[in-house]
Amino acid sequence: MSNETDKEIAGHDYDGIKEYDNPLPGWWLMTFYGTIIFAFIYVIHYESGSGNTLKKDLEIAMAQIESVKTSTGPKVLDSEDVLLEKAKDPKLLVVGAENYQSKCASCHGAELQGMIGPNLTDDFWIHGKGNMTDIITTVRTGVPEKGMPPWEGILKNEEVLAVASFIHSKHGSKPANPKEPQGQKVE
Ligand code: HEC
């Protein structure tokens, strides 16, 4: 390609092949120099400046996850679908069963059949409809005036999720000597 600015370079003539001075287009050069300048700023910012490296970003994100997991305070709940998915985790169910037996069985029975507290395996629910979101909410806030303690601040978020998953997994398990139904039947 040639244009008016092309100049033949004097003396550069090899067996009839002449060399022309074809300057690179301005926009191309600007882009090229731009990338060089950008690279300098980038390296200085991330290597010796304040910019976080990817590793540091990951550390910050992991620390946030850890603090949400171990926190006992309120947090934005996942959607029911996400909770149901998490509730299938066998390891979580083991943690849930342990927490249930040590903290809940005294009132709800070792088989969740109900004693002081209601049967947690039947289709009847006093609070909500027995889905994960409802169970978690009741466990967190409790019903102090009816004798159900609030567990927020005692159980970690992860443990509330675990114990709720355990209860959810026992739905329809038909334990012996169930307590009479309480609340509304959920179809
Ligand atoms: C001191 C006794 C006691 C303990 C301990 C206890 N609960 Fe309860 N729980 C109750 C009572 C009583 C109710 C019924 C509240 C009402 O009538 O509104 C209840 C209700 C519930 C409900 C709602 C049931 C429904 O029909 O809506 C859930 C879920 C529940 N408890 C889970 C748990 C979990 C999980 C634990 C352990 C972390 C636990 N409870 C520990 C006494 C207890």
Whether the Cβ atoms of residue 114 and residue 108 lie closer than 8 Å to each other: yes
Is residue 177 pLDDT above 90, yes or no? yes
Q: Across all residues in the chain, what is the average pLDDT?
A: 91
For residue range 66-101, list pLDDT tens digits in order: 888 788 776 667 899 999 999 999 999 999 999 999
Is residue 2 pLDDT above 50, yes or no? no
Length of the chain counted residue by residue:
187
For residue range 117-142, list pLDDT tens digits in order: 999 999 999 999 999 999 999 999 99
For residue range 18-45, list pLDDT tens digits in order: 888 888 999 999 999 999 999 999 999 8
Q: Nearest 5°: phi and psi at 36?
A: -65, -45
Residues whose beta carbon lies within 6 Å of some atom of ligand 1: 103-104, 106-108, 116-118, 120, 125-127, 135, 138-139, 143, 146-149, 151, 163, 167, 182-183
Is residue 1 pLDDT above 80, yes or no? no
Distance (Å, rounded) from C-alpha 105 to C-alpha 125? 18
Ligand 1 atom at shortest distance from the alpha carbon of 167: 35
Handedness of CA 115, 118, 119, 120 (dihedral sign): negative
